[in-house]
Amino acid sequence: MRKTRISKLKKLLNFKIKIKPMKKLILILIIIPLITLNTTSCINDDDVSKDPIDQLPLGTQTGENTFGCLINGKPLSVSNSREITAIYQGGVLQLGGGEENSNEDIDITINLEAPLDIDTSYDLTSYPNYISKFRKILNNVNCSYEYLDTYEGSIKLSKFDRVNYIVSGTFEFSTVTDNCETINITDGRFDMKYIP
């Protein structure tokens, strides 16, 4: 009985693969794309830019539903329509974006009152007409920076299309509040379809 098992094991270890030419071709056609895919994914990992600005969405004006900025030098890039807001109702444009993960929640909100023109810089410290606010929850510590906490900042609309409901532009602001770090938001950009 034991000799039978050993002989079967030897046969299994010494077998030779006999593949017919057609099966060999199919096998090659399956293996080559897998190797190429693996190599390509490794190359793409190396191609990711280390520059935070390169990790922000492009400054488009086509309603791509993107929102991004640097927060104290760290990129925030939002392209998930659940995490961005753009509404223009009652003469007020409210827009913003953020992200939420297991230990951090970030929200940026900007409000602008009509009249609104493109290529005009609006001062985000001009409460109540042009305002911004920032909120960050990190490890259950809530830092809310209200409108009056913004001490400098501006927003400029590059597109405000009232027919196709597209709003695009750039922004930056700095804000501070007690018991939380100073927040400097730079290189902000957005391109969103708004709700009329």
Span of 39-48, 101-110, 137-146 with lowest mean pLDDT: 39-48
Q: How confident is the model at residue 43 (pLDDT cuts 50, 70, 90)?
A: very low
pLDDT at 6 over 80: no
pLDDT at 19 over 60: no
Give the bridge partners for 192, in sequence order: 167
pLDDT at 195 over 90: yes
| CB-based contact 186:56 (threshold 8 Å) | no
Q: What percent of the chain has pLDDT over 90?
A: 67
pLDDT at 134 over 90: yes
The pLDDT of 13-17, averaged and rounded, is 52
Task: Say how far apart CA 173 and CA 10 lie, in whole Å.
Answer: 74
pLDDT at 160 over 60: yes
Task: Say how far apart CA 125 and CA 171 lie, in whole Å.
Answer: 13
Predicted local distance difference test score (pLDDT) of residue 82: 86
Task: Say how far apart CA 179 and CA 94 lie, in whole Å.
Answer: 27
Q: What percent of the chain has pLDDT over 70?
A: 75
Residue 110 has φ and ψ, to the nearest 5°, of: -130, 130
Structure tokens at 50: 């280390």
pLDDT at 40 over 50: no
pLDDT at 154 over 50: yes
Task: Say how far apart CA 171 and CA 122 lie, in whole Å.
Answer: 9
Q: Which residue has the tokens 């909100």?
A: 109
Task: Say how far apart CA 33 and CA 39 lie, in whole Å.
Answer: 10
**pLDDT tens-digit map of 76-119:** 999 877 899 999 999 999 999 999 888 889 999 999 999 999 99
Task: Say how far apart CA 187 and CA 165 lie, in whole Å.
Answer: 23
Task: Say how far apart CA 118 and CA 124 lie, in whole Å.
Answer: 16
Predicted local distance difference test score (pLDDT) of residue 174: 98
